Structure 1
Amino acid sequence: MSFSLDPSKTAFVFIEFQNEFTTEGGKLHDAVKPSLEAFNTMINAPMLLEKARASGCTVVHCPIEFEEGHEEIGDTEFGILKDVKDGEAFTAGTWNADFCDSMKPEGREFIVKGKTGLCGFHSTNLDFILRGNNVKHVVLCGFLANCCVESTMRTAYENRYTVYTVKDACGATSIEEQESCFENNFAMFSIRTNTEEVMSSLKGSKKAVGQFRKKASKAFGTELETMSTISFNVDGNDTTEVQYA
């Protein structure tokens, strides 16, 4: 499917790219590993993160975490949150709840606060972040496709955002579950897409120039103000000459 995303109105929301899911040693890693390998999730998601940064999109990281004892969950007797509590998963302040190395927030990227349930909006500041940054289009990636991603997608749709769900940048506890939710549910609430389509839909923006300038300054070991021109991709052109005084 062909579409175009305006970086100034687009947010990428990366849901629960934490060691508990993404990394060997995480309590839930073995459960999602088959889907991560089948869809190349941990290759695609970091590529999308870098593309979002370079294009000047709003970048939002949406972790889940609980205080020791998981009192936030209460005494629920069934469901996935009971499993999380019983397994003491995503305990705040532990390696398990940390962002994985390839998906760590940078600079002024947003980190959602207060997520102790399934939906990225419920009990958090996510909607405040999106509206405060004039976001109209929300691109969702992460875990679990048929749980937190789906719950966040449904609320985003009801909140009148245009929602994009990236199949090969998500994970689930089985390949079949991931295939099923995208095939049967997601078209009702989102535009189903993949990494390649999203990458090709994004063009640069003026905001990207500033981000590139900071990164390039570090790479070259000098402030770009001392350089006359530098060429890079922006606004869909192969090369653009940017002049610095």
Structure 2
Amino acid sequence: MAETTEKQPTGYDAARTALLFVDPYNDFLAEGGKLWPMVADVATAVGLHDNLRAITAAIRAAGIPIFIVPHHRAEPDDFAGWDHPTPYQLGAARFQVFAKGSWGGEWHPDFAPQPGDIIVKEHWGGSGFANTDLDMLLKQKRISHVILIGLIANTCIETTARFAVELGYHVTLVRDATAAASREVMHAAHDINAPTFAHAVLSTVELLAALPSA
């Protein structure tokens, strides 16, 4: 299946493309964040922060809209009375990941929303589309192509990307603008799973070359 994934698209139409930046929180991206130790080795190895900066700068210069796709910010007793929260949700609640009102639940200062960016309603699970307004907002902007960056490769990025494909979007993943708990997981996300659904799996350099000029 790997050979069916488009490796180098000819370009992206700024009028029909959006960047989905998933979970740019301090807890994921900052030293001292609750989840930073989990992804730090891979993030450092791929140059995550520099790649995120390069991509967001190029996207803004090209006039492509940025959609911030945030996870639910934890509050005590979030899942009290729920019939079947997932183990993933319960673990996040236990550690109060991205806790509402906390430093960890604030945007990383390098990737905070800028004027004109669109902040999507918070998602409760892995998908930025499920139970949010993301699909509606993209359709109102006449977006057909989405590029995903952020955290984590095998959870929210992959789940959001799969959901996007099912809704009819052209999906691009950027293999070094995300991270995960291990290199093995990154390999599985990009080289085993992604070719079964994504239209393109690019490096940051490849993506930048395919973006329209400012």
Q: Tell me the TM-score normalized by structure 2.
A: 0.91
Q: Greater share of strand residues, 1 or 2? A: 1
1:2 shift after superposition: 2.5
| Residue of structure 2 equivalent to 1:109 | 117
- Distance in 1, matches of 2:79 and 2:27, equals 18
Deviations 1:152-178 (A, max 9, x none): 011100111000000100111112111
Kindly indicate whether residue 39 of structure 2 is the aligned counterpart of residue 39 of structure 1.
no
Match of 2:8 in 1: 2
Could you give the per-residue CA deviations for residues 15-44 of structure 1, whole angstroms, max 9, x where no partner exists? 011111101111111001011011111110
Aligned counterparts, 1:67-78, within 5 A:
67-72=74-79, 74=82, 76=84
Regions of 4+ moved over 6 Å: none
Aligned residue in 1 for 2:205 = 196
Matches within 5 A, 1:97-136: 97-136=105-144
Larger RCO (CA within 8 A; separation ≥ 6): 2
Task: Provide the rounded CA distance (Å) in 2 between the counterparts of 1:81 and 1:192.
Answer: 28
Equivalenced residues, count? 205
Change (3 A) 1:28 1:56: same
Q: Distance in 2 between matches of 1:76 and 1:189?
A: 28
The answer to whether the Cα contact below 8 Å between 1:64 and 1:97 also exists between their aligned partners in 2 is no
Unaligned runs of 5+ in 1: 205-233, 235-245
- CA separation of 1:30/1:67 partners in 2, compared to 1, >3 Å: closer, same or farther? closer
- Return 5+ residue gaps in structure 2 as ranges: 1-6
**Equivalent residue letter for 1:196:** V
Aligned partner of 1:166 among 167, 171, 174:
174
**Per the alignment, do residues 44 and 120 of structure 1 end up closer, same or farther by CA in structure 2, a change over 3 Å counting?**
same
| Aligned counterparts of 1:6 and 1:70: Cα–Cα separation in 2 | 44
Letter in 2 for 1:166: V
- Quote the residue 1:65 is aligned against: 72
The structural deviation recorded for 1:83 is 1.2
Is 1:137 the counterpart of 2:145? The answer is yes
Deviation at 1:78, TM superposition (A): 5.2
- In the alignment, which residue of structure 1 is the partner of 2:157? 149
Aligned-pair CA distance for 1:75: 6.4
What letter matches 2:13 in structure 1? Answer: D
Tell me, yes or no, if the aligned pair for 2:149 and 2:174 is still in contact at 8 Å: yes
Alignment pair present for 1:186 and 2:160: no
Give the match for residue 209 of structure 1: none
The structure with the largest alpha-carbon Rg is 1
Q: Once the two structures are aligned, what percentage of the paired residues are identical? A: 29
Indicate the SS of the match to 1:169: coil
One-letter code aligned to 2:207: V
